[in-house]
Amino acid sequence: MTVPNSPTTETAEPGDWPVDVPVADLHTVSMKKLQAGDAAEVQRLFEASSTKGVFYLDLLSDESDILPIIKAIRSVSEELFELPQEEKCVYDVDKLTSRKCNGYKPVGRNYGGLEGQRDGFETYVIPKNGIIGLDDEAEFTRPPIITAALPTLHAFTTAINRATQTIVHHLSEALALPPADSLKYKHEMTTRSPDIIRLLKYQPQPASAQVLIPHAAHTDMGSLTFLFMSQPGLQIQSPREGEEGGEWEWVRPPRAGHAVVNLGDSLSLLTNGVLRSCVHRVSQPLNRAMPTRYSFAYMVRPADDTIMIAPQTERIPAAKIGAPVMTCQEWVQRKYSVLRLEQRPLELKWMMTGQQ
């Protein structure tokens, strides 16, 4: 589906950026204009979501200040990853929960593009359910650093979920979804879901003619990922109509108060493929060293019991015959199982990239 009268594309400020690498040309969408119902901004959002599946989001507004929240979470992330390894491993994500929504993952546990085909990053994930009190204390085991940061994490969760409601409301209207099937009801903050805040630390890599991929190509399993980063490394794969894969393009770090927002598998499944999940990875620029790299993201996912298929409307086609029908909880479990495989069987490759 195409949208007429495409608005002008904007990109983030160039900053200190190599001139010899292809850069993704992304829309910038203003949350303030979306909240005001600006028709051109809604069209810009829909075009970005149905073509590349990724855009810059300007979160600055007169009503709230996201900047100190972003700064505080960056500090929490750096402080947490500086803990001794044995202390971090007390909160091993594989031991704390089968849902992989709380705890620490060390370097090399997932499939990746480094030596031995393993990943080159460590993460700490913090569950929305724990932050807002939907999990009890036994379910939300955490280090003191996370406990001390709970007010900041709660403010961040509230801000991102408010933005999510605005985005999915406009996407639902653009897709002519009946009110009862609006994507808003599948993404309510107070409903149990596998939403997480994900803190990431990438290990430094030396300059080399062989490009290393510390985070392998994938689509996110959820609906929307709000990514905050200040260092290069993120790449997206431009889609090619009717073909698998495409050119890898670099994403410039966003301006202050902005996020890189990419759509995940859930929004694609919930719209029978009209909205596009974005294939992305973290890579090392050719012949350039990669320093220690920090980023963090809020990953929005549907409520646990959401059925991952859409009703047919004038703008949404019928689901493909034989398309898998599962709940969000079942989808998340299946996707995580593929992330941990030693090798990637061809019949499961689509689970990693979200593309069949």
Class of domain 28-353: mainly beta
Residues 6+ apart with CB under 8 A from 70: 228, 257
Nearest alpha-carbon partner for 271 in 205, 318, 207: 318
pLDDT score at 20: 65
Percent of the chain with pLDDT over 70: 85
One-letter amino acid of 295: S
**Long-range contact set of residues 243-248: C-beta below 8 Å, sequence gap at least 24:** 244/355, 245/279, 247/22, 248/22, 248/281, 248/283
Task: Please state the domain extents for the chain.
Answer: 28-353
266-283 pLDDT per residue, tens: 999 999 999 999 999 998
Q: What is the mean pLDDT of the chain?
A: 86
Q: Which residue has the higher pLDDT, 344 or 26?
A: 26
pLDDT score at 165: 97
- Is residue 298 within 8 Å of residue 126, measured between CB atoms? no
Q: How confident is the model at residue 232 (pLDDT cuts 50, 70, 90)?
A: confident
pLDDT score at 141: 95
Enter the DSSP assignment of 118: B
Question: Cα(355)–Cα(174) distance, rounded to whole angstroms?
Answer: 23
Q: How many CB atoms are located within 10 Å of the residue 279 CB?
A: 26
Question: Cα(324)–Cα(307) distance, rounded to whole angstroms?
Answer: 10
Q: Give me the sign of the Cα torsion angle 325, 277, 293, 254.
A: negative
Question: Cα(92)–Cα(95) distance, rounded to whole angstroms?
Answer: 5
- Is residue 102 within 8 Å of residue 143, measured between CB atoms? no
pLDDT at 351 over 70: no
